[in-house]
Amino acid sequence: MKERFIRSVKMEPVDKVPVLSITQTGTVDLMNLSKAFWPKAHYNPEEMAALAVAGHTFVGFEAVRYPFSLLELPEAFGCTMSEGTFDSQPHQLDFPVKKKEDVSKLNLPDLSKCRGVSVVLEATRLIQKRLDGGNDDIPLIAGALGPAALASCVCGVHNYLRWCIQEPDLLSELMVLCAGVCAEYTNMLYDADVDGVLLVDSEAGPDLFPPPLFESMVLPVYKNLTQKIRGLSLLHMCGDATAILEPMAKSGFQGISIEEKTNMADASKLIGNQVCLIGNVSPARTLLLGTPDTVKKEAKQCLADGTRMLSPGCGIAPRTPLENLKAFVAARDEYYLEH
CA distance linking residue 306 with residue 265, whole number of Å: 6
The pLDDT tens digits for 292-327 are 999 999 999 999 999 999 999 999 999 999 999 999
The pLDDT tens digits for 3-26 are 999 999 999 999 999 999 999 999
Query: Is the confidence at residue 117, as pLDDT, over 70?
Result: yes
Contact of 51 with 42, CB cutoff 8 Å: no
pLDDT at residue 135, as a whole number: 67
Of 107-116, 130-139, 286-295, 320-329, the range with the lowest mean pLDDT is 130-139
- Tell me the average pLDDT across 109-135: 92
Q: Where are the domains of the chain?
A: 2-338
Helix, coil or strand: residue 325: helix
DSSP E strands in the chain: the ranges are: 64-66, 80-81, 92-94, 140-145, 196-200, 233-237, 255-258, 276-281, 309-312
Q: List for the chain the helix, strand, coil content (%; round to 5).
A: 55, 10, 35
pLDDT-above-70 percentage for the chain: 99
β-pair partners for 65: 141
Average pLDDT, the chain: 97
β-pair partners for 144: 199
Query: Is the confidence at residue 134, as pLDDT, over 80?
Result: no
Q: Class assignment of domain 2-338?
A: alpha beta
Q: Where residue 133 falls among pLDDT bands split at 50, 70, 90?
A: low
β-pair partners for 199: 144, 235
Contact of 205 with 241, CB cutoff 8 Å: yes
In degrees and rounded to multiples of 5, residue 67 shows phi and psi of: -75, -165
CA distance linking residue 89 with residue 95, whole number of Å: 18
- Sequence-ordered alpha helix ranges (H) in 106-261: 115-131, 147-155, 157-166, 168-191, 211-213, 219-228, 245-249
The pLDDT tens digits for 80-110 are 999 999 999 999 999 999 999 999 999 999 9
Contact of 144 with 135, CB cutoff 8 Å: no
pLDDT at residue 132, as a whole number: 78
Output the pTM of the full model.
0.97
**Cβ count near 175 (within 10 Å):** 28
pLDDT at residue 186, as a whole number: 99
The pLDDT tens digits for 198-217 are 999 999 999 999 999 999 99
